[in-house]
Amino acid sequence: MSNNAKSAKLFIFAAPSGAGKSSIIKKIISKDKDNIQLSVSVTTRPPRDGEIHTKDYFFVDEKEFSELKEKNAFIEFAYVHGHQYGTLRNFVNEKLKCGISIILDIDVQGYTQIKDSLQDTISIFIIPPSLEELKNRLIARGLDSKEVIEKRMINAKKELNHAFSFDYLVLNAGLNRDNIFLRMTSDDWNNVINVNLNSSFHLLKHFTKKMVKKRFGRVVFISSVVAHTGNPGQVNYTASKAAISGMVKSLALELSTRNITVNSVAPGFIKSNMTDKLNDDQKNTILERIPMKKLGDSSDIAKAVGFLCSENANYITGQTLHVNGGLALI
């Protein structure tokens, strides 16, 4: 086995339909196409417009699917929303042997089948901001009938219960309602605190119980550079992110004896749809504030989170990793 094969990992992504899982996976793969690929699943579902056999899915009929099950060809399979889905064992093993990490985009049913049987897997569950937002996304994408959407919402509530069995928790809640303090309303304050801070409290109450029982867990908060520098017009947002820093330190002290690490990443200005809309003068004003004179990339944040979840960070807890081009130093 080559060194590349030894470093290849199997990543399991699970989420309710509409949570944004596919978009996240596409972004990850686009950054490193040579070393990480999406597993192509087998399904009995009819192809959607634009989907290609062997590229998006292996499209088969019910008889072919049953024959593959009898041959033990799947490492997992599930019946989801009226159709069969499965992951081919040989497909995954061959990619891993070649040193290519594989992402499984699977249903929660599939995850429960393989979570204890495969070694060196990293399991990630994507939680939507709320069930209301999840339903809005399903309606907006226009792929399903009203009846199918209702079925997906029923399943989503069941699937969210499985999220608490995952080992890695990344808390990326972020809402801003900017205004100068004298004009900031109680709703502006409460909405930001509820989303950015209180939601983290409620999620952690569930997740840490499972982590403590398993004596393993990795918790990473996404904070912000403004928690350390302050920012005019963002008293509510700054307060919520600064509170996260206190949570990180206290939780790290409480959970460290259970092999659970708690850290945070503090991004600065990151390239996004929002920064793309800025004019040149606005961009130059921002760049002048950053010691490195450039914006960060979403991959910079992803790599920082990946590091804090990796074996290389086993002895790091209670810390904030600044990924902001030196902006926190000013």
Q: Which residues are designated catalytic?
A: 237
Q: How far apart are the first and last CA of the chain?
A: 48
SS3 category, 125: strand
Whether the CB-CB separation of 240 and 190 falls below 8 Å is answered with: no
CA dihedral of residues 138, 142, 144, 150 (deg, nearest 10)? 40
Burial of 179 (0-12, 13-18, 19+ CB in 10 A): middle
Q: In whole angstroms, give the CA distance from residue 55 to residue 84.
A: 18
Could you give the CA distance from residue 136 to residue 154 in angstroms, rounded to a whole number? Answer: 14
Which residue in 160, 195, 150 sits closest to 176, CA to CA? 195
Rounded to whole angstroms, how far apart are CA atoms 125 and 304? 18
Q: In 215-303, which ranges are E strands?
A: 217-222, 260-267
Round to whole Å and give the CA distance between 107 and 133. 20
Q: What helix, strand, coil percent values describe the chain, rounded to 5?
A: 50, 20, 30
DSSP E strand boundaries for the chain: 10-14, 36-38, 41-43, 57-59, 74-80, 83-88, 101-106, 121-125, 168-171, 217-222, 260-267, 320-323
